Amino acid sequence: MTRVLVGMSGGVDSSVAAAMLAQAGHDVIGVSLQLYDHSDAGRIARCCSPEDFLDARRVASQFGFPYYVVNQEEVFSRNVLDYFVDEYRRGRTPNPCVRCNGDVKFEALGRLAVDLGATQVATGHYARLDSCPTTGRRRLLRALDAGKDQSYFLFDLTQEQLSLALFPLGELTKEDVRREAEHLGLATAGKPESQDVCFVEGGDYREFLRRRSERDRVLEQDGDIVDSAGRVLGAHHGLSGFTVGQRRGLGVSASRRLYVVSVEADTRRVVLGDESELSAAALTLTGVTWLGSDAPGAPFETLARVRYRHAGVRCLVVPAAGGTARLTLLEPQRGISPGQAAVFYDGDVVLGGGWIDQVERSGVTPAARLSAGKAEGPRDGVNAT
């Protein structure tokens, strides 16, 4: 009998994952992580509410396995909340879910698993795992349900974390999970989906940033709002109120529709332009990780997703030293912002990914530019497609 530590958020997905493992005869231990200090929220955010923990406890009681709540507020504040605020202050668009999965949830659950004698850590994520036939390392794959696939948010997990990970819902659809929850009579069966960043109440991240800045006594600096030619259109009172692709709440009036094209932290300028100026031709990545293989030794063509709901775009990946890479996009893509993640796929297999550091918006990239850069595909289990 395998002892499995199950991360339980109090939602239907993690509840079904825990129930399935308990029914299969595993020695299940349920754990919820207390991540958010609600006294700091001003209003109750969705994350880690008392009702969520009560629902998780009800499921544990129904199937007779132990359940614990473990405080991780300090590490969550440092690795996710501070990161979230700092990225906006730098004119970037953060991705807190990726940071939370690797730096908080799987890190904490992995340590607890060792302490409690568990050999696996299960969650309600929609993703799958296998082993690379060449290297034997663990690989991350898309979930069967393409509409719920969460592999994008998990690309930054380490090999150690993947070796412990278990995703019971990877072969199921959301409809399957709902039906199973109803069949089992789980308290969470009818619980609604979580859509926004969990610690931002009502999806209003600007209000969250304002409260956090007031708490930390950090005042943002004013700056200019300019067009792409550098002409001053107005002024702003802090970069955190702007993100690439934004159209509303710009604080300027114009005879044409304008969008945020870039946010310049060094000059404190917000640059506005036409919709056509949002297209990106190439990206520079930092913090690049490779799953199931070593870093490729040559450029290769693959599919990259540049945000969670992005279908993906064909691109040429040129790995470089220091965990960096350059992506040349076959088709220009709109609204890509520094701070987001770019994740590489070979079919269902996640090859790796990194953090978008620079975006080149210098016009359309011709297909010939991609073809001209092709080289021998990567080795050691990373397959060019």
Residues 286 and 263 grouped into a single domain:
no
Instruction: Centre a 10 Å sphere on the Cβ of residue 42 and count the other Cβ atoms it contains.
Output: 15
Residues 187 and 231 grouped into a single domain:
no
Tokens of 110: 């992995």
The domain boundary residue, chosen from 273, 293, 317: 273
Q: Does the structure show a pLDDT above 50 at 113?
A: yes
State how far Cα 170 lies from the chain centre.
17
Q: Cβ contacts of residue 176 below 8 Å, gap of 6+?
A: none
Of 21-35, 94-108, 127-141, 368-382, minimum mean pLDDT range: 368-382
The pTM of the full predicted model, rounded to 2 decimals, is: 0.88
Tokens of 91: 């004119």
How many residues are there in the chain? 385
Looking at 47, 100, 132, 315, which residue is catalytic?
100
Q: What is the pLDDT of residue 378?
A: 39
Q: What is the pLDDT of residue 254?
A: 85
Using one digit for the tens of pLDDT, what is the confidence trace for 325-383? Answer: 999 999 999 889 999 999 999 999 999 999 999 999 854 333 433 443 444 343 333 33
Residues 57 and 183 grouped into a single domain:
yes
Burial of 211 (0-12, 13-18, 19+ CB in 10 A): middle
Q: What is the pLDDT of residue 349?
A: 97
Residues 188 and 120 grouped into a single domain:
yes
Q: What is the pLDDT of residue 108?
A: 97
Closest CA to 120 of 158, 160, 177: 160
Domain containing 305 equals: 278-372
Tokens of 261: 């094209």
| 198 belongs to the catalytic site | yes
Largest CA distance in the chain: 69
- Residue labelled with tokens 């919709």: 275
Residues 249 and 181 grouped into a single domain:
no
Residue 385 forms part of a structural domain: no
- Contact indicator for 21, 14 with CB cutoff of 8 Å: no
Looking at 47, 48, 97, 198, which residue is catalytic?
198
How far is it, in rounded angstroms, from Cα 284 to Cα 286?
7
Q: Indicate the number of domains in the chain.
A: 3
Using one digit for the tens of pLDDT, what is the confidence trace for 174-202? Answer: 999 999 999 999 999 999 887 668 888 76
